[in-house]
């Protein structure tokens, strides 16, 4: 049985310098995924969060002009969020918002990752266009065997020197029954979680830094966010174990209460 690891990346910084270096065009992927094109995922955001001199990176999704959806563990202990929108390259960001209004689910449990969901309120509303737009949230349970697309700026390998990606990447993966996921992770798999298969040859999935990013059904036709990236197996992203997500549908009432969406 494997333990689970949350998907954000920590950085310790001096001042507020963000840990980015322009590496130029890249072929690296989320984990064996593809590079996104501008406007392909207009709901995707990159999040730098933290307190004092500690910063970590997560993803999230735009759900309205004033609200970002993400994982609770991304917001836990954070005092501020820098929200990057409208980009597939973190060095070419047309708009960046700052928020200190970070809301975790009241029953979030950092030990079990139960209720791993949270929202960020923007004091100034976003203007929507071809590259900045909200995602529709699912109110229906996601079925086993569904193909979902996960996007994010997270690590693209388990290498010791791996860093979060400068570029937005995405991969399409398949949901599996919770019972199958529990064969790997045991009692860690809760009812309001969903897992995706990593497949094989090559392994595909989310990695560190993809926490809070959306899993989307029907991405090319009628996009519908069904889950939020939450955790991977403790042995790494490339070992072929399932990735874990928070289901959206069980939290629609909570999201509505907090955001009006």
Catalytic residues: 73, 116, 211
b/e burial code for range 13-43 (CB count within 10 A of at least 16 → b) = eeeeeeeeeeeeeeebbbbbbebbeeebbbb
Q: Which two tokens stand for residue 162?
A: 């791996």
Among candidates 23, 59, 25, 21, which has minimal Cα distance to 43?
59
Q: Tokens 């973190």, residue?
A: 90
Say if residues 42 and 82 touch (Cβ distance below 8 Å). Answer: no
Find residue 175's DSSP bridge partners.
Answer: 196
190: which residues sit within 8 A by CB, 6+ positions away?
112, 113, 114
């Amino acid at each position: 049985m494997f333990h689970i690891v949350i998907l954000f990346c920590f950085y310790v910084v001096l001042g507020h310098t963000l840990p980015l270096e322009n590496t130029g065009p890249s072929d690296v992927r989320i984990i064996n995924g593809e590079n996104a094109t501008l406007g392909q995922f207009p709901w995707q955001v990159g999040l730098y969060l933290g307190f004092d001199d500690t910063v970590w990176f997560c993803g999230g999704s735009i759900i309205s002009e004033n609200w970002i959806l993400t994982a609770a563990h991304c917001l836990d202990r954070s005092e501020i969020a820098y929200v990057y929108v409208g980009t597939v390259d973190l060095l070419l960001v047309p708009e960046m918002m700052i928020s200190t209004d970070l809301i975790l689910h009241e029953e979030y449990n950092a030990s079990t990752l139960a209720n791993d969901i949270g929202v960020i309120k923007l004091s100034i509303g976003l203007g929507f266009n071809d590259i900045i737009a909200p995602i529709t949230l699912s109110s229906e349970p996601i079925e086993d065997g569904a193909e979902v697309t996960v996007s994010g700026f997270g690590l693209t390998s388990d290498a010791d020197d791996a860093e979060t990606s400068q570029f937005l990447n995405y991969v399409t993966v398949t949901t599996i029954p919770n019972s199958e996921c529990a064969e790997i992770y045991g009692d860690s798999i809760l009812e309001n979680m969903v897992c995706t298969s990593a497949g094989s040859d090559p392994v595909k999935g989310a990695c560190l830094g993809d926490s809070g990013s959306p899993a989307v059904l029907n991405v090319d036709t009628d996009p519908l966010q069904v889950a939020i990236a939450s955790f991977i197996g403790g042995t790494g992203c490339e070992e072929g174990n399932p990735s874990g997500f928070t289901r959206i549908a069980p939290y629609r009432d909570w999201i509505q209460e907090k955001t009006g969406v």
